[in-house]
């Protein structure tokens, strides 16, 4: 078989495949052999999801179960590390921080902990608590590396001490502006939709998880920040698959989308998730914006039912412009000439020279 593109979405769906799809998986598996499928899944960084699917389909079950067991052991080490970190964060008085995006969606859903393959765990934190967060991690021997957009710090990565029993090169990422786009301002504020009184703890740990509705909203928006099909592509939609298994108030998410003018982002992410990984999220969110169709033509192959890999350069800018609920022209203007306060924090000013520097950086992306 010359291409596996229409095969990839099936590999991440676990037991959520019908008889016809299972037969197709079996056919490709027989034609390609276990080694080729293993290498494909490793290259696409979907190995634990593939192992879970093939195990549940009864194909070389022992081999794939061993593979998944290895990821379970790996990820339980991450959970222990996170528990230690959040225990210390609590002791230092940190109140506004939680595990977000993919690992947050996995823990919130109660799915198999083996189904995570990233090298870091994303967390959201309120920037007002940065000093306390730094002190907590430093007291545990973590080292930090700050990340900036221009002159503005947007995040910090914390690396465990060498003696820590964690996966190689693992780190904890703390994002202070998690929904900031590439070289553009964060378009919504977490406090507008996160009810901090409703955060929860993961099982018997100190690990903090956000309210399910807020996390689903974050995961939907996060997909749009990756232009719907940029790396880690299909793995982005697994977050929605996981969160769709929780108790959600979709009417509330719809309300947030309208208030934040993120309807096109939400509608596109949901429609693609329903097609790619069969999330069955309410059609009301899909109907929030018809402009989603223009975006989907650029990122999704409806015949193969798979993502088109992957937009770059001007294509990314066009997708970002199309995401603007008001108009495409307004979207273009927002990219070229962002908010003045943000310009000043990133470039040190908001005059013509600052805008010229910004324009050059946007073109290079």
Q: Give the pLDDT band of residue 152 (cuts 50, 70, 90).
A: confident
> How many residues are present in the chain?
365
CA distance 81 to 87: 10
Q: What is the pLDDT of residues 262-304, one digit of tens each?
A: 999 999 999 999 999 999 999 999 999 999 999 999 999 988 8
* Whole-number pLDDT of residue 180: 77
Q: What tokens appear for 148 in the block?
A: 């900036």
- Classify the phi-psi angles of 210: left when phi > 0, otherwise alpha if psi is within -120 to 50, otherwise beta: beta
Longest C-alpha distance within the chain, in Å?
Answer: 63
| DSSP3 helix / strand / coil % (the chain, rounded to 5) | 55, 10, 35
* Whole-number pLDDT of residue 15: 84
* Whole-number pLDDT of residue 225: 92
Q: By C-alpha distance, which of 220, 204, 232 is closest to 116?
A: 232
Q: By C-alpha distance, which of 232, 217, 268 is closest to 104?
A: 217
Helix or strand holding residue 124 (H, E): strand 120-125
Kindly state the DSSP code that residue 6 receives in the 8-state scheme: G
Task: Please classify residue 195 by burial: count the beta carbons closer than 10 Å to its beta carbon, then call 0-12 exposed, 13-18 middle and 19+ buried.
Answer: exposed
In DSSP notation, 245-278 reads: TS---HHHHHHHHHHHT-HHHHHHHHHHHHHHS-
Q: Say whether pLDDT at 1 is over 50.
A: no
Q: What tokens appear for 349 in the block?
A: 């000013």
Which domains does the chain show, CATH number per domain? Answer: 1-59 (no CATH), 72-210 (3.30.460), 212-325 (no CATH)
Q: What is the pLDDT of residues 47-79, one digit of tens each?
A: 999 999 999 999 999 999 999 999 999 999 999
Task: Please classify residue 182 by burial: count the beta carbons closer than 10 Å to its beta carbon, then call 0-12 exposed, 13-18 middle and 19+ buried.
Answer: middle
Q: Are 268 and 289 in contact (CB under 8 A)?
A: yes
* Whole-number pLDDT of residue 5: 61
* Whole-number pLDDT of residue 209: 98
CA distance 100 to 215: 7
* Whole-number pLDDT of residue 356: 84
Q: What is the CA radius of gyration of the chain?
A: 21
Percent of the chain with pLDDT over 70: 98
Which one has a higher pLDDT value, 351 or 222? 222
């Amino acid at each position: 078989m010359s291409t596996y593109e229409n095969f990839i979405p099936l590999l991440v769906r676990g037991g959520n495949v019908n008889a016809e799809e299972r037969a197709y998986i079996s056919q490709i598996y027989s034609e390609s052999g276990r080694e080729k499928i293993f290498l494909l899944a490793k290259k696409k960084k979907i190995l634990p999801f593939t192992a879970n699917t093939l195990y549940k389909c009864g194909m070389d079950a022992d081999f794939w179960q061993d593979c998944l067991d290895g990821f379970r052991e790996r990820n339980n080490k991450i959970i222990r590390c996170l528990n230690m970190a959040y225990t210390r964060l609590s002791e230092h008085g940190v109140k506004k921080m939680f595990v977000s995006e993919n690992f947050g969606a996995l823990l919130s859903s109660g799915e198999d902990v083996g189904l995570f393959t990233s090298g870091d765990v994303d967390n959201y934190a309120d920037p007002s608590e940065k000093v306390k967060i730094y002190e907590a991690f430093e007291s545990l021997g973590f080292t930090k590396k700050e990340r900036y957009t221009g002159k503005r710090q947007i995040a910090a990565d914390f690396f465990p001490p060498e003696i820590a029993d964690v996966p190689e090169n693992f780190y904890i990422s703390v994002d202070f502006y998690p929904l900031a786009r590439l070289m553009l301002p964060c378009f919504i504020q977490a406090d507008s939709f996160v009810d901090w009184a409703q955060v929860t703890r993961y099982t018997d740990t100190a690990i903090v998880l956000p309210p399910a509705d807020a996390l689903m909203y974050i995961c939907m928006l996060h997909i749009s920040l990756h232009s719907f099909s940029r790396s880690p592509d299909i793995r982005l939609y697994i977050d929605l698959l996981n969160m769709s298994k929780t108790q959600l108030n979709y009417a509330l998410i719809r309300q947030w989308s309208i208030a934040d003018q993120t309807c096109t982002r939400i509608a596109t992410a949901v429609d693609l998730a329903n097609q790619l990984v069969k999330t069955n999220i309410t059609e009301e969110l899909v109907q929030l914006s018809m402009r989603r169709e223009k975006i989907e033509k650029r990122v999704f192959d409806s015949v193969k039912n798979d993502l088109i890999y992957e937009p770059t350069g001007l294509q990314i800018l066009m997708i970002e412009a199309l995401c603007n609920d008001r108009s495409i022209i307004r979207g273009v203007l927002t990219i070229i000439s962002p908010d003045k306060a943000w310009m000043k924090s990133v470039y040190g000013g908001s005059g013509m020279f600052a805008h010229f520097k910004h324009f050059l950086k946007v073109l290079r992306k």
